[in-house]
Amino acid sequence: MSLVDKQDKFAGMVSLLVEYMRFKGYQVTYGDAYRDDRVTYGHPRSTHRSRLAVDLNLFKDGVYLADGDDHNHFHDLWDLIGGAERIDKDLNHYSLSHGGLR
């Protein structure tokens, strides 16, 4: 599958996930999505750099849910629709695997 095909698939998957989060009563904002090569934090080959990862921030009643526990349920859906495996210490991260990275 070409990179643009993966990016297109990923965009559709994220749309479904965000709508499901909203349906469940959460507010959702984007954290990191595309990460430019000039950015110095994170893994140098992160899937954010390939437009295949996004960090989603969850809020309930306007309060940011910082501990990540609420993401576990959404990672179950992400797994079901073909997303990359969750990263335990980065629970707001949703991605597709590419080049051996997630």
Whole-prediction pTM: 0.90
CB 35 within 8 A of CB 42: yes
Give the tens place of pLDDT for each residue, 7-60.
999 999 999 999 999 999 999 999 999 888 888 887 777 888 899 999 999 999
Please give the Cα distance from 21 to 18 (Å, whole number): 5
| pLDDT number for residue 102 | 64
| pLDDT number for residue 88 | 86
Domains and CATH numbers, the chain: 3-95 (3.30.1380.10)
CB 52 within 8 A of CB 10: yes
